[in-house]
Amino acid sequence: MSGKKDGLHKGLTTYGDTGFSLFLRKAFIKGAGYTDDALDRRIVGIIDTGSAFNPCHGNSAQLIEAVKRGVMLAGGLPMDFPVISIHESFASPTSMFLRNLMSMDVEEMIRAQPMDAVVLIGGCDKTVPALLMGAASANLPAITLVTGAMLTGSHEGVRVGACTDCRRYWARFRAQEIDADEVSRVNNQLVASVGFCSVMGTASTMACVTEGLGMMLPGGASAPAVTADRIRVAERTGSLAVEMAADGLTPDKILTADAFENALRVLLAIGGSTNGIIHLTAIAGRLGIKLDLDRLDALGRDTPVLVDLKPSGQYYMEDLHKAGGVPVLLRELRPLLHLDALTVTGRTLGEEIDRAAAGFAQDVVRPRTNPIYPQGGIAVLRGNLAPNGALIKQSAADPKLFEREGRAVVFESLDDLAARIDSPDLDVTADDFLVLKNAGPKSGYAMPEAGYLPIPTKLSRAGVKDMVRISDARMSGTAFGTIVLHVSPEAAIGGPLSLVKNGDRIRLSVAQRKLELLVDEAELARRRSAYKPLQPKADRGYAKLYMRSVLQAEEGCDFDFLRKA
Ligand code: FES
Confidence grade of residue 462 (pLDDT, cut at 50, 70, 90): very high
Residue 19 to residues 1, 10, 26, 238, 248: CA-CA distances in angstroms?
7, 12, 11, 30, 25
User: Does 390 score more than 90 pLDDT?
Assistant: yes
CB atoms closer than 10 angstroms to residue 501: 12
Nearest partner of 386 among 184, 554, 511, judged by Cα? 554
Confidence grade of residue 558 (pLDDT, cut at 50, 70, 90): very high
Task: Kindly state if the Cβ of 197 falls inside 6 Å of ligand 1.
Answer: yes
Asked if 47 and 67 touch (Cβ cutoff 8 Å), the reply is no
pLDDT in the model for residue 535: 81
User: Does 398 score more than 90 pLDDT?
Assistant: yes
The rounded Å distance from CA 87 to ligand 1 centre is 7
Task: Kindly state if the Cβ of 56 falls inside 6 Å of ligand 1.
Answer: yes
Q: Picking from 22-36, 201-215, 463-477, 530-544, which range would have the lowest pLDDT averaged per residue?
A: 530-544
pLDDT tens digits along 508-533: 999 999 999 999 999 999 999 999 88
User: Does 10 score more than 70 pLDDT?
Assistant: yes
Domain with CATH 3.40.50.2300 in the chain: 41-151+193-355
Average pLDDT over residues 59-85: 98
DSSP letters of 370-385?
Answer: S-SBSS-SEEEEEETT
Looking from the CA of residue 55, the nearest atom of ligand 1 is 1
The rounded Å distance from CA 276 to ligand 1 centre is 14
- Measured CA to CA, the distance from residue 358 to residue 368 in angstroms comes to 17
Out of 53, 60, 88, 475, mutate this one to test ligand 1's pocket (max ligand atoms within 8 Å of CB): namely 88
Residue 387 host element (H or E): strand 386-393
Task: Kindly state if the Cβ of 91 falls inside 6 Å of ligand 1.
Answer: no
- Measured CA to CA, the distance from residue 436 to residue 16 in angstroms comes to 57
| Residue ID of nearest Cα to ligand 1 atom 3 | 88
pLDDT in the model for residue 406: 98
Alpha helices in 152-256 (DSSP H): 164-174, 180-187, 202-213, 228-247, 251-254
Task: Kindly state if the Cβ of 504 falls inside 6 Å of ligand 1.
Answer: no
Average pLDDT over residues 463-478: 93
Residue 341 CB contacts under 8 Å (≥ 6 apart), including other chains: 214, 254, 256, 258, 259, 262, 348, 349
The rounded Å distance from CA 163 to ligand 1 centre is 8
Domain with CATH 3.50.30.80 in the chain: 378-534
User: Does 27 score more than 60 pLDDT?
Assistant: yes
User: Does 3 score more than 70 pLDDT?
Assistant: no
- Measured CA to CA, the distance from residue 237 to residue 106 in angstroms comes to 19
User: Does 1 score more than 50 pLDDT?
Assistant: no
pLDDT in the model for residue 214: 98
Task: Kindly state if the Cβ of 77 falls inside 6 Å of ligand 1.
Answer: no
What are the respective helix, strand and coil percentages of the chain, to the nearest 5? 40, 15, 45
Confidence grade of residue 2 (pLDDT, cut at 50, 70, 90): low
CB atoms closer than 10 angstroms to residue 124: 29
Looking from the CA of residue 202, the nearest atom of ligand 1 is 4
Average pLDDT over residues 59-69: 98
Percent with pLDDT over 90 in the chain: 92
Asked if 204 and 309 touch (Cβ cutoff 8 Å), the reply is yes
Single-letter residue type at 92: S
pLDDT tens digits along 410-458: 999 999 999 999 999 999 999 999 999 999 999 999 999 999 999 999 9
The rounded Å distance from CA 194 to ligand 1 centre is 10
Task: Kindly state if the Cβ of 449 falls inside 6 Å of ligand 1.
Answer: no
| Residue ID of nearest Cα to ligand 1 atom 1 | 124
Asked if 450 and 471 touch (Cβ cutoff 8 Å), the reply is yes
- Measured CA to CA, the distance from residue 402 to residue 539 in angstroms comes to 42
Task: Kindly state if the Cβ of 167 falls inside 6 Å of ligand 1.
Answer: no
Neighbour-count burial of 99, counting CB atoms closer than 10 A to its CB (0-12 exposed, 13-18 middle, 19+ buried)? buried
pLDDT in the model for residue 534: 80
- Measured CA to CA, the distance from residue 142 to residue 243 in angstroms comes to 11
Record: fold of 41-151+193-355: Rossmann fold (3.40.50)
Nearest partner of 175 among 459, 467, 427, 451, judged by Cα? 459
Looking from the CA of residue 125, the nearest atom of ligand 1 is 4
Neighbour-count burial of 106, counting CB atoms closer than 10 A to its CB (0-12 exposed, 13-18 middle, 19+ buried)? buried
- Measured CA to CA, the distance from residue 397 to residue 378 in angstroms comes to 10
DSSP letters of 90-138?
Answer: G-SS-HHHHHHHHHHHHHHHHHHS--SEEEEEE-STTHHHHHHHHHHHH
Neighbour-count burial of 111, counting CB atoms closer than 10 A to its CB (0-12 exposed, 13-18 middle, 19+ buried)? middle
Asked if 492 and 438 touch (Cβ cutoff 8 Å), the reply is yes
The rounded Å distance from CA 81 to ligand 1 centre is 22
Asked if 468 and 508 touch (Cβ cutoff 8 Å), the reply is yes
User: Does 44 score more than 50 pLDDT?
Assistant: yes
User: Does 255 score more than 60 pLDDT?
Assistant: yes
The rounded Å distance from CA 33 to ligand 1 centre is 37
Averaged confidence pLDDT in the chain:
96
Helix 202-213 to helix 275-285 angle (10° resolution) is 40
Confidence grade of residue 303 (pLDDT, cut at 50, 70, 90): very high
The rounded Å distance from CA 56 to ligand 1 centre is 6
pLDDT tens digits along 121-139: 999 999 999 999 999 999 9
- Measured CA to CA, the distance from residue 111 to residue 48 in angstroms comes to 16
- Measured CA to CA, the distance from residue 62 to residue 60 in angstroms comes to 5
pLDDT tens digits along 339-388: 999 999 999 999 999 999 998 999 999 999 999 999 888 999 999 999 99
Out of 53, 54, 56, mutate this one to test ligand 1's pocket (max ligand atoms within 8 Å of CB): namely 56
Label the pairing between strands 483-485 and 158-160: unpaired
Looking from the CA of residue 89, the nearest atom of ligand 1 is 3
Per-residue three-class SS string for 269-286: HCCCCCHHHHHHHHHHHC
Q: Please say whether the dihedral angle defined by the alpha carbons of residues 284, 288, 293 and 297, taken in this order, is positive or negative.
A: negative
User: Does 274 score more than 50 pLDDT?
Assistant: yes
The rounded Å distance from CA 328 to ligand 1 centre is 25
The rounded Å distance from CA 384 to ligand 1 centre is 35
Looking from the CA of residue 203, the nearest atom of ligand 1 is 4
Average pLDDT over residues 65-83: 98
- Measured CA to CA, the distance from residue 88 to residue 127 in angstroms comes to 10
Task: Kindly state if the Cβ of 87 falls inside 6 Å of ligand 1.
Answer: yes
Task: Kindly state if the Cβ of 383 falls inside 6 Å of ligand 1.
Answer: no
No. of helices (H) and no. of strands (E), the chain: 20, 14
Give backbone dihedrals phi and psi of 236, rounded to 5 degrees, phi first.
-65, -30
Residue 509 host element (H or E): strand 505-509
Instruction: Tell me, yes or no, if the pTM score tops 0.75.
Output: yes
Task: Kindly state if the Cβ of 124 falls inside 6 Å of ligand 1.
Answer: yes
pLDDT in the model for residue 320: 98
Record: fold of 378-534: Glucose Oxidase; domain 1 (3.50.30)
The rounded Å distance from CA 479 to ligand 1 centre is 13
CB atoms closer than 10 angstroms to residue 167: 18
| Residue ID of nearest Cα to ligand 1 atom 2 | 197
Task: Kindly state if the Cβ of 203 falls inside 6 Å of ligand 1.
Answer: yes
Task: Kindly state if the Cβ of 86 falls inside 6 Å of ligand 1.
Answer: no
pLDDT in the model for residue 479: 82
Asked if 497 and 385 touch (Cβ cutoff 8 Å), the reply is yes
pLDDT in the model for residue 422: 93
Cα pseudo-dihedral 232, 236, 238, 240, rounded to 10: -170
Per-residue three-class SS string for 489-507: CCHHHCCHHHHCCCCCEEE
